[in-house]
Amino acid sequence: MTEASNPVAVGDWQAWQACWDRQQEWYMPDREERFRVMLDMVEALVGPAPRVLDLACGTGSITDRVLKRFPEARSTGVDLDPALLTIARGHFEGDPRVTFVTADLKDPDWTAALPHDTYDAVLTATALHWLHSPRLTVLYGQIAPLVREGGVFMNADHMPDPTTPRLNAADRAQRHAGMDRARAAGAVDWAGWWALAAADPLLAEPTKRRYEIFGEHADGDTPDDAWHARTLREAGFAEARTVWRSPSDALVLGLK
């Protein structure tokens, strides 16, 4: 996808969200599969009308899929990125099922900005790797009280297994070969997507503020899924384990 082959009209927030999804799929071609499993587990454990907290929601990709599958659901999206929140708010404008909150997950009091004390499901994907493990441990401790008894937390993110370096290298080479082919066919990467956003009159200022907050890309670390499951149990979840994984990524679920 290039700027010429994929123009996004100014203010077309649905197109901007779709453009974000395609950019993310360039990195994660199995992205929809992890979302499907995430929603399967939501339905299995808390039912088809959940109150959801979309954590580090970005453009609202999780919320969009939650509402399409569960029309009676309600969602609170929380993020700090002003550009992605502009797209999310535009995309869901007028939908009473959705609320967005601007908050910094590094702020000790970020939960005070939420409209509800507890949620049936707290969901996040490809977002928390920008936190280093000690800060993520603190965040898991803050998330646990937000999940009602019997509710769930799920984190889908980069969680490679450090004990299999040769397998990891082979998987990385395979993935990057596919990414190179997609780029040659016009796929846009992270930097290219943000260049498109900066060129949109309605996103130029939020994008500038976004770079002032985060820089090019915040770098945390990527502990394996066993670390996530253990840390969630230590934070107060009764059960926690991996419910989906690829060679490089995993979806870890904590059940309260």
CATH of the domain at 192: 3.40.50.150
The interaxial angle of helices 204-214 and 82-91, nearest 10 deg, is 140
In a domain, 128, yes or no: yes
C-alpha 252/C-alpha 231 separation (Å) is 11
Contacts of 163 (CB under 8 A, 6+ apart): none
Q: How many domains does the chain have?
A: 1
Quick one: CA dihedral 201, 99, 115, 41, positive or negative?
negative
* Residue 244 domain flag: yes
Predicted local confidence at residue 1, as pLDDT: 39
pLDDT for position 218: 67
Reduced to 3 states (helix: H, G, I; strand: E, B; else coil), residue 85 is helix
- In a domain, residue 111? The reply is no
Which tens digit of pLDDT belongs to each residue from 156-172?
999 999 999 999 999 99
- Bridge partners (DSSP) of residue 76 are 53, 99
The pLDDT value recorded for residue 182 is: 87
pLDDT for the residue numbered 6: 44
DSSP summary character for residue 107: S
Tell me the three state secondary structure of residue 186.
Answer: coil
Within a domain: 8? no
Q: Would residue 227 count as lying in a domain?
A: yes
pLDDT of the chain, 256 residues: tens digit per residue: 344 444 688 889 999 999 999 999 999 999 999 999 999 999 999 999 999 999 999 999 999 999 999 999 999 999 999 999 999 999 999 999 999 999 999 999 999 999 999 999 999 999 999 999 999 999 999 999 999 999 999 999 999 999 999 999 999 999 999 989 988 888 899 999 999 999 999 999 999 999 999 987 767 889 999 999 999 999 999 999 999 999 999 999 999 9
* 70 secondary structure, DSSP code: -
d(Cα 188, Cα 26) in Å, to the nearest integer? 8
Structural domain including 134 reads 13-103+123-255
pLDDT tens track for 121-154: 999 999 999 999 999 999 999 999 999 999 999 9
pLDDT at 2: 40
| pTM for the full predicted model | 0.94
Helix 204-214 and helix 190-198, axial crossing angle in degrees, nearest 10:
130
Element (H, E) at 206: helix 204-214
Q: What letter represents residue 187's amino acid?
A: A
- Tell me whether residue 5 is in a domain: no
pLDDT at 3: 40
Please count the other Cβ atoms lying within 10 Å of the Cβ belonging to residue 115.
10
Task: Give 105's contacts (C-beta < 8 A, 6+ positions apart).
Answer: 55, 56, 78, 80, 131, 139
